[in-house]
């Protein structure tokens, strides 16, 4: 929510983006625990199962009237500007700024938090990895500049 505030969103949009950020992985309830907590690299079938969580996130949230935009933002958090994300391979022409904000939060959180297969990274290292992603066209370089100002 502080990133949305930093970007100048009004109170209602900050609330909606906060809800989307908090619910973006709700689809992981469908993914078996042994996949979610696996300490080693996932095999191709496990990875496909893990990737399905974004589909279920969107499906679950779209059931709630009034959360249609939140469902889109939360369900698009693994899409990339260059069209190499999933599940729909959307690109910069199809992704909203709000989609990108949720994606930024997800990427940063995934890098700095401990995972079953590795320890969390320092914020500076996480931003360096995100810079590399921006250079490859996955995420917005300009938005990364704003994000970096906020977290470092």
pLDDT for 91-149, tens place per residue?
Answer: 999 999 999 999 999 999 999 999 988 999 999 999 999 999 999 999 999 999 999 99
What's the mean pLDDT in 11-22?
Answer: 97
**Tell me: the pLDDT tens digits for 55-99?**
999 999 999 999 999 999 999 999 999 999 999 999 999 999 999
Task: Count other Cβ atoms within 10 Å, centred on residue 119.
Answer: 7
> Alpha helix locations (H) across the chain?
2-6, 11-23, 33-36, 44-51, 53-62, 68-75, 97-112, 123-135, 141-151
Q: Domains in the chain and their CATH numbers?
A: 2-151 (1.10.3210.10)
Beta-bridge mates of residue 118: 115
Catalytic machinery residues: 28
96 near 81, Cβ under 8 Å?
no
Cβ neighbours of residue 140 under 8 Å, at least 6 residues apart?
Answer: 81, 100, 134
Q: What pLDDT does 1 receive? A: 67
The DSSP element (H or E) to which 145 belongs, if any, is helix 141-151
Q: What pLDDT does 117 receive? A: 87
What's the mean pLDDT in 36-49?
Answer: 96
pTM listed for this prediction: 0.93
């Amino acid at each position: 929510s502080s990133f949305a505030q930093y970007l100048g969103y009004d109170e209602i949009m900050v609330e909606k983006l906060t809800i989307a950020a908090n619910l973006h992985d709700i689809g992981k309830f469908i993914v078996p625990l042994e996949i979610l907590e696996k300490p080693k690299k996932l095999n191709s079938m496990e990875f496909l199962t893990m990737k399905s969580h974004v589909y279920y996130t969107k499906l679950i949230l779209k059931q709630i009237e009034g959360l249609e935009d939140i469902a889109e933002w939360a369900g698009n958090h693994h899409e990339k500007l260059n069209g190499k994300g999933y599940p729909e391979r959307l690109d910069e022409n199809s992704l909203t700024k709000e989609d990108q904000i949720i994606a930024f939060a997800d990427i940063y959180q995934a890098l700095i938090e401990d995972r079953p297969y590795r320890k969390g990274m320092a914020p500076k290292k996480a931003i360096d990895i995100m810079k590399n992603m921006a250079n490859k066209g996955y995420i917005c370089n300009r938005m990364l500049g704003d994000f970096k100002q906020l977290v470092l």
